[in-house]
Amino acid sequence: MKNNQSYTFRVWAPLKQAMILHLIQPEEKKLAMNRESDGYFSLTIENVPVGTRYFYMPDGEKDFPDPMSHYQPEGVHGASQVVFHHEFTWTDADWCGLPFEQLVMYELHPGTFTPEGNLEAIIAYLDDLVTLGVNAIELMPVAQFPGNRNWGYDGVYPYAVHNSYGGPDGLKMLVDACHSKGIAVFLDIIYNHLGPEGNYLAAFGPYFSGKYHTPWGDALNFDDAWCDGVRDYFANNMLHWFTHYHIDGLRADAVHEVYDRGAVPFWEYCYHKVQELQQQAGRPLYLVAESDLNSPHVIKHPEAGGWGFTAQWLDDFHHALYVLVDKKGIEHYGDFGRMQQLVKAFKEGFVHSGEYVQFRKRRHGASSAGIHGNRFVVFSQNHDIVGNRPTGERLSVLTSFAQLKLAAAAVLLSPYVPMLFMGEEYAAETPFCFFADYSEQQLRDSLIEGRKKEFAAFNWEVDPPDALSEQVYHNCKLQWQQRNTGRHQVMLRWYTQLIVLRKKQALLSNLNKNNIYITAIGEDGCVVHRQDDRGTQHLFCGFNFSEKSLSYPLPLAGKTWQKLLDSTEQQWQVEEERAFVQEMPQRPILITDTDEMVLPPYGVVVYLAV
């Protein structure tokens, strides 16, 4: 490692007349920077010591951290630190990535996934995820946010890995370890807003525009005067994660809150930049969207008028599934609750594809029929779904064990890319509440009052816990020791078996929905029939969302059927279910075409034609 190296300091401030580089460590200096023609100021210095810290002074008036800081060791208000990315020794030269359609994703929060609450500590649990069958983790945002605990959506330095998470080296060590075990790494990014504390972008330039407004205030400036620098600031941030941290994919938060009426919309601009880098890197680089538009253009290629995302989260699948699993869900998802909606979610994707939606008081969405299953990511839980409940309850404390198994099977046997939320694989009961750590009293007061009003508007019967409490944060940390005991161990084995089945059976791992046929059994259940392109192989998945047994006649005369999975088998039971299950007739392993598929209450069965 070289102790002193050349380094170029560069910052965009198109409306400023001058810029001072204020070096504060190891030796204090104030140096005038050179103005460039495109709104940037730069200065190259030889012999920059490792660990050098600095501020910028727009027009020489006041110290501000670098908007493109790669490390904020003292938090959002402190000095920025120079990072020499090439100093890290990578061992993943042979890593070529994984096909998107083969992923089993796992969303986790770096601060609550382990007792230590940092990125390096996650490495010790990677073997557990591999055994489970997970081959991709999705990290909630790691960009520098105020304080030591936060969901990550209050980040104000998009290029900096949070100091309490272990900074740049912490993320690099995790990614390198993941790749060594065959795990891809996705990272959550936020380009629709910045957090309220430590947000100094406006001190440098017109990063925000009053033309549009978001739930967080003025929108970022992607199409107004001086927007070129803003577009590059965020688009190049994608390249930053792919290049310096070997990230495999990025999940973009709320893409519908990015406003750009230009000829080349911001997301299309990012697509082309990432495509160019992908050709150079020689491995796939994925972009996944969170969008509530229900519009296929999000995942269509720009040549077809789209934004070019690899895939998007399919919220409609969750809503349709959740209301059937937890009947009380209708109180919060009033536009869902019918079996035909789950059938549509399985077959087409978007449930709302132009129909009137009561929640929005208007028609919403367009059809996604015919779009390949690898363009959608589905889940029964995620950070928003759990965390936006007042006390952060997981599905494991809202439903029965049988219903949990049912929800897991619907996701993992679906024709989409599945994603788990950390801990659900063993029915974790720890809450996942919203938490933050603002230092400014006005922000602290506004957060508490704002959340009370928000939950009151949604008719929740309880107030949320104090999001600023350190104890609330610690209560959200996973209790990993539960995985090996009682009902938690049974659920872990259930998830593992589902993933094995998904990967082993070609009809389940094939996400081409053209050969999928779905039949609703009234409002109580549905059967998903999957076959190969030649129509010679057949597999049936039966889901029962009711308290009574259902039956479905297995077609195809002359076929013999092998039962691959039955959620009522003793190995998948816990004490609360066994007395009830013993009353159910036991089905033989092999049955003939004259029999019917019996779907036990809140049960799942899978049959393969042999």
Active-site residue numbers? 253, 290
244 annotated among ligand-binding-site residues: no
316 annotated among ligand-binding-site residues: yes
Report the distance separating Cα 35 and Cα 578, nearest Å: 75
User: Which of 224, 230, 198 lies closest to 212 in space, CA to CA?
Assistant: 224
Tokens representing residue 336 in the block: 């869902």
318 annotated among ligand-binding-site residues: yes
252 annotated among ligand-binding-site residues: yes
387 annotated among ligand-binding-site residues: yes
The DSSP call for residue 121 is: G
Phi-psi region of 270 (alpha: psi -120 to 50; beta: other; left: phi over 0): alpha
127 annotated among ligand-binding-site residues: no
Report the distance separating Cα 399 and Cα 134, nearest Å: 24
Report the distance separating Cα 517 and Cα 531, nearest Å: 9
Report the distance separating Cα 394 and Cα 458, nearest Å: 18
User: Which of 263, 269, 198 lies closest to 230 in space, CA to CA?
Assistant: 269
3 annotated among ligand-binding-site residues: no
188 annotated among ligand-binding-site residues: no
Q: State how far the alpha carbon of 63 is from the alpha carbons of 58, 67, 148, 260, in Å.
A: 8, 12, 23, 32
Nearby residues of 504 by Cβ (< 8 Å), 6 or more positions away? none
254 annotated among ligand-binding-site residues: yes
Cis before 26 (ω within 30): yes
Q: How far apart are the first and last CA of the chain?
A: 61
121 annotated among ligand-binding-site residues: no
Coil, strand or helix at 96: coil
579 annotated among ligand-binding-site residues: no
377 annotated among ligand-binding-site residues: no
Tokens representing residue 588 in the block: 């033989």
240 annotated among ligand-binding-site residues: no
The DSSP call for residue 140 is: P
Taking each continuous run of H as one helix and of E as one strand, the counts in the chain are 13, 29
Return the C-alpha torsion angle 401, 502, 383, 470, nearest 10: 70
Tell me whether residue 593 is exposed, middle or buried, using C-beta atoms within 10 angstroms of its C-beta: 0 to 12, 13 to 18, 19 or more.
middle
Report the distance separating Cα 3 and Cα 563, nearest Å: 65
462 annotated among ligand-binding-site residues: no
Nearby residues of 201 by Cβ (< 8 Å), 6 or more positions away? 67, 156, 194, 207, 208
317 annotated among ligand-binding-site residues: yes
Report the distance separating Cα 559 and Cα 57, nearest Å: 77
Binding site, annotated residues for substrate: 251-256, 315-319, 383-388
Binding site, annotated residues: 251-256, 315-319, 383-388
